[in-house]
Each structure stands twice: as structure tokens, then as C-alpha cells.
Amino acid sequence: MAFDERILDEAADWAVRTGDPAFADWDAFTLWLEGDPAHALAYDLVMAGTAEAAEALPSVASAPLPDAANGPRGNRRWFAGLIGIAAATAAVFGAWTLRDQSYVIATQPGETRLVALDTGGEVLLAGDSRIVLDRGNPDLAVLEQGQALFTIVHDEKRTFRVEAGDSTFVDIGTVFDVKHSPRATSLAVSEGAVLFNPERQKVRVDPGHVLTVSPGSPDYRLAAIDPGQVGEWSEGRLTFQDALLMDVAADLSRATGTRFEAAAEAAGRRVSGSLLLAPLRDDPRTLAPLLGVAVRAEGGAWVIEAR
Amino acid sequence: MSDLSQPTGLAGAFMEHRERLLRFLVARGAGEAAEDLLHEIWLKVSRAQTGPVADPLAYLFRTANLLMIDRYRSETQARKRERDWSEAMAGTGGGISDSPSAERQAIASQLCEQVTQTLDELGERQAAIFRRHRVDGIPQRQVAAEFGVSLSTVESDLRSAYRALAELKERLDEA
């Protein structure tokens, strides 16, 4: 069915407007829809067409943004703006190219992003995370902050490496989760095996184990973990075992996009529990009985404190 | 008192604006299924334990709209699957192609090319803004800030991208 130009224009306009989460003019939209049965059909066409188009496009890793270093200035001021912004504000942008062929992919809290790796395999980035990949060196990924679940296609001729802080993890197997923050770096292995710091400690981490290191210290801790728990955040679940409340708050913020904070006097308390993220997004107060804490709203955040 | 004496913000808004929501669903093309869809929304809303919702009515309309969008997509996909199935049956005399996934992949990468070409023809900024908003999921206001342009520019760019992609879908569906 071919649509009238004007109807398609109007449908596109309504599609753009209703696509904004703040849109509130539903009565006007209803009136337009009632004007002609073709209006609703045109709107459905636009919504379906744009959704299918967005799904057909590859993830950012294989469709990089243009390199601003090569482009002229002038009306491409906004490209220059992207490059000019330092890593400190990097979280605002999803992805951009650095010098040479490196590129950064970053996520907001509550967001996850699947990135295809040039060598085959993929990495699932958790919320509030930043990873640097390099077209010129496809066997290396640098996790600057946050958490990522790697699924690697193992190749005898090349080894895939993940760097996080001072730690290097060399893949000799398939599925592993790396988490990095200024206070600690951890590696959990679900399938295959990963070698930690092959030049120094040289620890092999097998499936069902998690290795934790603190930056600036050669000490590490190796603990058992249910392999099913590795990367469980990607399935909407988090498990804490004697975790510090401030770490719990940070993990929840990353995963849900809702701001959680540990009250100052409770930040050092340890809690255990396993929870689903979806109900927590709907009502943060359900956290209270799950972890044996108290939760209250303050400002734009949910504050966790001891009961 | 019954549970309904203290409804949550959403359940209360639903009961108050039920007729408006029904009218919206009909206008959207739900036809005789409008009451059923309204009931689906009621079930979702009355069971959820949500925290404070800023604008309950807008939330309800958005839920209704998304429900209609999903319904349209699953209906058209089901029709397409039936068409493909009967074409496959007719063409092979009862057998099914032994590499359907390879064919699907070829169709998918062809669609990717066509979408990319359609967007690139509109202009670099238009293509980038569409990707940022619809593929990366960044809200329009933030896209405007990132690109250093006004919100109306973002809206205008999205409108032309949406137009072009709707026309592309029309052409492809007719083929």
C-alpha cells in the first residue's frame, strides 16, 4: 500500500516525537490517529521500518565513526568536538576513535552493549564500563573500568589478551568475566582457562574460579565460584558473598542505571544475597529484605544503610 | 477495605483514564481486540510494584503504544513466515531448503547494506544521529548536546531518516 506523501511526513513526525521519553501529548496523537485509518497504518510502517533498520545495523565495533583527524574542519565542528574531549568525560559518548586505530566503547549505568571482536568472538560490556580496542592490534582489549564478559573463539596461532590496570589476562579458553575498578580487579572463568599475568605470578584460572587482585600489590586471592554465576549480570542476576555494602551499591548502580549509595557509617558492612535486577529496577525498596538492610530515597539516589 | 481503596499511582490512573486509553487503542487500529489489550495493560499495571512514576498517564499511554507496536510486528512477521513457508513448499515440491540460515544471513546483510546506503544518502550527520539515537539508544536531548546542535535539528534529521527508512521498507515489502 503506497502512502500519501503528507501522511508519511506526519507519521514520521509523530514517530520522532513519541520516541522521546518525555513525550506527553497523547491526546493530540489520538486525534491525528482518528483523522484517517491510514494514519495508524503509516505510523506502524514508520515505527517498524525504523526498528528493523536499527536492528539490521551492526554494533559499533564493526562500523566505526569516521576519524576526525583526517576530516576538514568547518561544518564538521562536532567531529572535532568528539576528539577534543578527554577520557575524563568519556562516559558521555558511546564510542569514538582515538589516534591510530584504537577506539573506545563506553556504556552508561544500566546499559549493556555487545561488541563483536575482530578476531571472532565477542565481549558483552556491563553498565558504566569502558573498553579500548585496537584495529591495528586485534588480539588486545583494555578494560579501563567496569565489567565485561568475554566469549573468545580460541585460536592456536594467536592468543587474546585483556589488560585491566596492572593485570594481564591471557586467554587459553573460552568464556570469562573481568571486572576492574580503582580498588580491585577480578577475573572469573566459566569455560576454558585463563592465565593471569604470564610474566609475573603466572596463575592459571580454571572454570569455577575467581581471582581477585588489588592494584599496587602482587597478592591475589583465588576462590571457588559456581560457574553459572560467572557473568550472571548479563542474565539479570547478581550474587553477593560477604561483599562490602559500598561495592554492592556500586554494582547495583552499574547494573540497573538507578543510583544506589551506601550510607557512610554502613559502607564497610558485609552482606550476602542473590537478587534479580528487574524487580529491583521497578522498586529499589525490595532490596531491603533481600540483603537485610534498610533502603530509603534521598535526593536522586537510594541510600542503603544498616537496619 | 478492599485492595482497591489504596491503589498505586499507576493503577489509580488506569481506572480514572480507562476510556481514554481504550479510545487510543481503537485509534491505533486495535479494532475488536482493544478491550483485550486494555485488560493486558491492566494486568501489567496492577501487579507491578513500581516506585513513584512521574507521569502515570503518559506511562500508561506509552505502554499501550508499545503494545500496539509489538502486536503489529509479530503479526507482520507471522504473515511473512507463512508466505515464506508456502513459497518454500511450492518451490521444492515438499522439501525444505537445507541451508535456511545461510539465506537469512544473506538477507540480513543485504538489508544492512540497503539501510546504510539509505542513511548515507541523507548526509553524514543525519546518518550518525539516527545511529546514536536508535542503535545506541541515546535520548534526543543528549544527542543534541553531543553533536553540538539544537534539539530541532536532531528532530528534523530523525524525521528525514524515518521517512527514508519507511519508504525503504515499503519498497522491500512489495518485492
A84/B contact by beta carbon, under 8 A: no
Mutate to test the interface with A, among B8, B55, B163 (most CBs of A within 10 A): B163
Is there a contact between A49 and B131 if contact means CB atoms under 8 Å apart?
A: no
Report the CATH architecture of B97-175: Orthogonal Bundle (1.10)
pLDDT 10s digits, B128-175: 999 989 888 788 988 898 889 999 999 999 999 999 999 999 998 876
Residues 90-119 of A with CB under 8 A from B: 92-95, 111
pLDDT 10s digits, A119-149: 778 888 888 888 988 877 888 999 988 999 9
Q: Identify the CATH number of the domain defined by range A236-306.
A: 3.55.50.30
The model's confidence at residue A73, banded by pLDDT at 50, 70 and 90, is: very low
A283/B contact by beta carbon, under 8 A: yes
Tell me which chain B residues have a C-beta less than 8 angstroms from the C-beta of A30: 20, 23-24, 27
Pairing of strands A167-171, A209-213: unpaired
Mutate to test the interface with B, among A31, A36, A52, A259 (most CBs of B within 10 A): A52
Is there a contact between A19 and B170 if contact means CB atoms under 8 Å apart?
A: no
Q: Which residue of A has its CA nearest to B171?
A: A2
Reported CATH class of domain A114-227: mainly beta
Q: Where in chain B is the domain with CATH 1.10.10.10?
A: 97-175
The alpha-carbon gap from A184 to the nearest alpha carbon of chain B, in Å, equals 29
Among A74-78, A106-110, A184-188, name the most confident range. Answer: A184-188
Least trusted range by pLDDT, from A22-26, A181-185, B74-78, B142-146: B74-78
The model's confidence at residue A29, banded by pLDDT at 50, 70 and 90, is: very high
Is there a contact between A48 and B170 if contact means CB atoms under 8 Å apart?
A: no
pLDDT of A86 reads 30
pLDDT of B100 reads 52
ipTM exceeds 0.95:
no
Instruction: Average the pLDDT over A81-90 and give the result.
Output: 32
Instruction: Average the pLDDT over A42-55 and give the result.
Output: 92
pTM, entire model: 0.49
Mutate to test the interface with A, among B135, B156, B171 (most CBs of A within 10 A): B135
pLDDT of A61 reads 33
Task: Pick the more confident residue, A274 or B153.
Answer: B153
Tell me which chain B residues have a C-beta less than 8 angstroms from the C-beta of A33: 24, 27-28
Instruction: Average the pLDDT over B89-110 and give the result.
Output: 60
